[in-house]
Chains A and B, each alone.
Chain A
Amino acid sequence: MSTTATLDQGVAPPGGRVVSFRRRLRAGDEVAYLITLIAAGTIFLITALVFYEVFSQSALSRHKFGWSFLITSVWDPVAGTFGALPFIYGTVVTSILGLLVAVPEGIGSAIFLSEMAPPRLSNACTFLIELLAAVPSVIYGLLGIFILVPILERHVVPPLKSAFGWLPIFQGPFYGVSLFSAGIVLSIMIVPFIVSVSREVLLAVPRDQREASLALGASQWQTTWRVVVPNASSGIVGSIFLALARALGETMAVTMVIGNTPQIKASLLAPGDSIASVIANQFTEATGDLYLSALIELGLVLFGVTFVLNGLARILIIATSRKGAHS
């Protein structure tokens, strides 16, 4: 902000506002300002338009089903009955499963990279993890179908069933495509996001906090766990929200391994469906306005949830880095 203030003083003469405006217009400054302002405004408009479109296009379905859309579980395009619960269930279960694996692994990695590792190793690993974040989701889906599912089928699910088979979540036959497979693929996909954001908020914790703790005789781990991590905790929570929003909206990789069966089964080994994948699979085939409108309403649900999560995450992350800057 201070930059802008200095520059404005440099251009505008101390005279009245009118003189200054005319001068700046002649110099081309107002034009340049307007062009960039329009671009910035366009971004705002596009985001508003995204919301407006999913909201207005789903009107038919919203009026017909009301809130019951979210809590009924019959999805029958032929009869014109649409309930979103199986998709919401699948989305939530796979995302939670993904987080259960990804959060400990991601935070552990972030701690290693920012606190424990020698700088060179840390930089190399960070580079690799950034590359990992760039791998397209359809590639994860490809590996999910042909590599991960067979591995789960042969080496992971049988021991899991023999050890925890008495739990309802591990009962029933396993066909490969399932909520479980989708959750595992998601966990692999979202780790890089947790690592890169958490690492940054950890690095934003002021150095003197660490030094004070070390000077009192605490070990590196004690310093990390009792001083650095608590300081960065809200930012870390923010990174988890960001990752959750990603997981909820992830389409391709999930579609390829979840089985695309709209049902609610207690077992994780059963096939299911998610909001994003039902949209991907049925949108182009949807016949009739109500069908299309119901699919768009699913999009609205997804948009709403990720919107709130992203908003919260940003606030948490901004709050943490501010705290770091002040103390």
Chain B
Amino acid sequence: MRSSRQKNIVNYLMFGLTGLCTLMTAGILFFILGYLAYHGARSLNLEFFTRLPAPVGETGGGMANAIVGSAKVLFLATLIGIPIGFLGGVYLSEYGGQTFSFVIRYVTDLLNGVPSIVIGIVVYALVVHPMGHFSAIAGGVALGIMMIPISVRSTEEYLHAVPVSLREAALALGAPKWKAIVTVVIPAAIRGIVSGTMLDLARVAGETAPLLFTALSNQFWSPGWSKPTATLPVMIFTYAISPYEDWHRQAWAAGFVLLVLVLSINIIARLALARGAYVPRA
């Protein structure tokens, strides 16, 4: 009798304890959102989106160039990372043999685990050094490489979840395999693939370390693709560690904009996934 009661007490105790862990973990998100909204929204104004950074010592100014710069770098990254990742994912799901697929999956995971700062070094050596200067292109290549692994895995996962019967139906109608893939399998998985791409983009949108010595930064507009380019994450970093009060205010504003952007893409993509995509791991 006593041991049974003891058992129940321990059970409730551990329920509470593990629950507390979860509360602490998930609760941090509200702290982050709260602080960013409190400090960031206060510092945010129209100037932030329309003006160039003010010279040191002057207050005011905005980060229009960094917003455009981030968009440019992310555009290039998508252009580089998504085709390779997507086609690689198609290979793994539709064509792959046993051994080579295993190797590619493993290598993809390893690439995913390479610290982002190391990617920065490599792109510096491969792109910045030969070109002779920091550029939006180099930033795009760095983030593009970082997009590949997630794109591969999500494409493979969602293609894999498409039922075999669908493919067999297409083949039975006489379609070659590639046609079956393009017109039947991929459309069936498109919601998952698009959401996966959005999540991928949201992840690299906040990356700072690989941009430090690829895109560098800029206090002015960077026309074209081959000039040092300001991006939001790098601006947050430089402004946050600066000694100027007004720059701190701007860093909060930029942080708020970045966080809202990243989290809303995440929420939209995850809701789209929850509703109606094939559940992976069939």
Contact = CB atoms under 8 A, between A and B. Distances in A.
Interface stretch (B52-60, B87-95, B188-196): B87-95
A138 B267 CA distance: 20
B258 A139 contact: yes
Contact of B104 (A40, A53, A125, A249): A40
A217 B155 CA distance: 44
B157 to A, nearest CB: 13
B167 A276 contact: no
Contact of A109 (B18, B39, B205): B18
Interface residues of B, number: 100
A221 B10 contact: yes
Contact of A306 (B114, B122, B216, B263): B114
A128 B91 CA distance: 33
Contacts of B19: 112, 116-117
Contact of A47 (B91, B97, B110): B110
Contact of B111 (A46, A106, A125, A314): A46
A162 interface: no
Nearest to B92: A40
Interface string A153-185: 000000000000000000000000000000000
A1 B205 contact: no
A206 to B, nearest CB: 15
A139 B248 contact: no
Contacts of A104: 21
A147 B176 CA distance: 60
A141 B240 CA distance: 9
Interface in A222-240: 222, 224-225
Interface stretch (A5-13, A60-68, A75-83, A261-269): A5-13
Which DSSP category, helix, strand, loop or mixed, fits chain B's interface?
helix
B21 A105 contact: yes
Given A142-B236, A143-B32, A136 B91 contact: no
Contacts of A43: 84-85, 88, 104, 107-108, 111, 148-149, 152
B159 to A, nearest CB: 10
Contacts of B91: 36-37, 39-40
Interface of A: 1-4, 6-7, 10-11, 24, 27-29, 31-33, 35-40, 42-44, 46-47, 49-50, 53-54, 57, 104-106, 108-109, 111-113, 116-117, 125, 127-132, 134-139, 141-143, 145-147, 188, 191-192, 195, 219-222, 224-225, 242, 245, 248-252, 256, 276, 279-280, 283-284, 295-296, 299, 302-303, 306-307, 309-311, 314
- Nearest first, the 10 A-B pairs at minimum CB distance are A136-B206, A249-B115, A108-B21, A39-B87, A32-B178, A36-B91, A310-B113, A112-B18, A27-B176, A251-B209
Interface of B: 7-8, 10-11, 14-15, 17-22, 24-26, 28-29, 32, 35-36, 39, 83-88, 90-92, 94-98, 100, 103-104, 106-122, 124-126, 145, 148-149, 152, 164, 167-168, 171-172, 176-181, 199, 202-203, 205-209, 212-213, 216, 233, 236-237, 240-241, 248, 251-252, 255, 258-259, 262-263, 266-267, 270
25 contacts: A3-B164, A29-B176, A31-B178, A33-B95, A36-B88, A36-B90, A39-B88, A40-B92, A40-B104, A43-B88, A43-B111, A53-B122, A116-B18, A125-B22, A132-B29, A132-B32, A134-B206, A136-B259, A136-B262, A139-B258, A146-B39, A222-B11, A256-B237, A299-B118, A303-B118
